Amino acid sequence: MTLTMEAAPTAAVRPRTDIPPREEYVCWSRMQAEAGQGLDAIVERKERERQAGGGSFLWGVGNAPAQVTNVLARAGIPVRAVFSVMKTRPKAVDVSPSRTVIWRRYVDAQGVERPLPPHALVTSRGDSAGGAKRVHHALMCRSDTPLAIRRGDAFDPAAFRNAGGSGAPVGFSQVTALLRRVQFDHDRSDYEANLTAWLADSYWVRLTDPDELDADRLAILADIPRQPLDSWCDLVARIRGAPAAVAVAPGRLV
C-alpha cells in the first residue's frame, strides 16, 4: 500500500506557489521507547498534548537538524513529518534510564530562546555517552487529526535523499532526518508511516534548560493517563517546576 497523508492544515504552514513541481520535503523520524516510557504511552501522551495545544505538539529527537531546516521554516515551505517504528528493540538506557530530565526552553528559527508552550511536555534520559545531557532537540508539529499508530502505509526511505549537504542517501544511523524526494515510484519498504503530522512554527528546534525529575514529579508523569484532559497544562507546569533564570543583558534576568 502506498503512503497516504492528511491535507496540510492551514494553521500550521501556508504553502508557497513558487515551489518546483513535485518538490517534496519530509522529516522522517524513527520512534521507539524513550525516557522510561514505552512507545504506546508516548503516543498517548502526545495526543493529550495535541488536544491541549489546539493541534500542536512537540516530539523530542536526539539529533540536530540540517541547516536548511531553518530556511524552510522561515519561508513557510510545507514539510511533512513521518514517524516510523524502529526495527530494532529499544536500548536498555531508554527503557530504564538512570535519570530523566524535562526540557523547558527552546531556540526558535530566529535564534531567540523562548519558554516552551505551556502545553508542551518533552522529556529525555538525563545522561548521554559524554555525561549529563545538556542538549536535546524537538520537532514542532501540528496535526488536525488524532495521533495513533497506524499500520499498512508504506514509507520507502530509498525514494529520498538528505535535503542538506551533498544530498546523500539516508544513513542507517540517522534516526531523524530532513529529506527531499527524488523518486516517485517507490513504495517497497519494510518501514511504514505509522504516524504523520506537519512541521509547524520553527520546525526543528534545539531545547535548553533541562531539569532532572525527582520521584514526586516522575510519579505525576506516570499518572498522566488517569488525569482529566482539562488539567493537562497544570500537570505540565507541576512536572516542569520553576524554569532556570536566563541572562538577557548585564544585570538583568528573566
Q: Please give, one letter per residue, the 3-state secondary structure of the chain.
A: CCCCCCCCCCCCCCCCCCCCCCCCEEEEEEECCECCECHHHHHHHHHHHHHHCCCEEEEEECCCCCCHHHHHHHHCCCCEEEEEECCCCCCHHHHCCCCEEEEEEEECCCCCEEECCCCCCEEEECEECCEECCCEEEEEEECCCCCCCCCCCECCHHHEEECCCCCCCCCCCCCEEEEEECCCCCCCCCCECCEEEEEEEEEEEEEEEEEECCHHHHHHHHCHHHCCHHHHHHHHHHHHCCCCCCEEECCEEC
- The pLDDT value given to residue 16: 43
State the chain's mean pLDDT as an integer: 86
**Predicted pLDDT at 206:** 97
Indicate whether 13 belongs to any domain.
no
User: Per the domain annotation, does 227 fall within a domain?
Assistant: yes
Specify whether the CB–CB gap between 160 and 141 falls below 8 A.
no
Average pLDDT value for residue range 103-123: 96
> Residue 198: how many CA atoms within 13 Å on its side-chain side?
25
**What is the band of 168 on the pLDDT scale with cuts at 50, 70, 90?**
very high
Model pLDDT, residue 213: 96
Split into its structural domains, the chain has a count of 1
Q: Considering only CA atoms, which of 159, 160, 202 is closest in space to residue 178?
A: 160
- For the segment 146-174, the average pLDDT, to the nearest whole number, is 91
pTM of the model: 0.85
Tens digits of residue pLDDT in 57-76: 999 999 999 989 999 999 99
- Of 3-17, 80-94, 107-121, 194-208, least confident by mean pLDDT is 3-17
For 34, the domain range is 25-240
Domain membership flag for residue 1: no
Average pLDDT over residues 39-51: 96
* Domain assignment present for 56: yes
Cα(177)–Cα(162) distance, integer angstroms:
7
Question: Is 251 a member of any domain?
Answer: no
What is the C-alpha to C-alpha distance for residues 206 and 135, in angstroms, rounded to an integer?
7
pLDDT (mean) for 111-134:
93
Residue 7 has pLDDT above 90, yes or no: no
State yes or no: pLDDT of 106 exceeds 50: yes
Percent of the chain topping pLDDT 70: 85
Higher pLDDT, 136 or 185: 136
Question: What is the C-alpha to C-alpha distance for residues 150 and 136, in angstroms, rounded to an integer?
Answer: 27
Q: Is the model's pLDDT at 248 over the cut of 50?
A: no
pLDDT band for position 121 (cuts 50, 70, 90) = very high
Query: 141 lies in a domain?
Result: yes
Enumerate the β-bridge partners of residue 176.
Answer: 29
| Domain annotation covers residue 254 | no
Dist CA 77 CA 71 (whole Å): 9
Furthest CA-CA distance within the chain: 60
Note the Cα 32 to chain centre separation in Å: 12
Q: What is the pLDDT of residue 50?
A: 98
Residue 248 is assigned to a structural domain of this protein: no
Residue 83 carries which side chain, given as an amino acid letter? F
- The average pLDDT across 241-254 equals 51
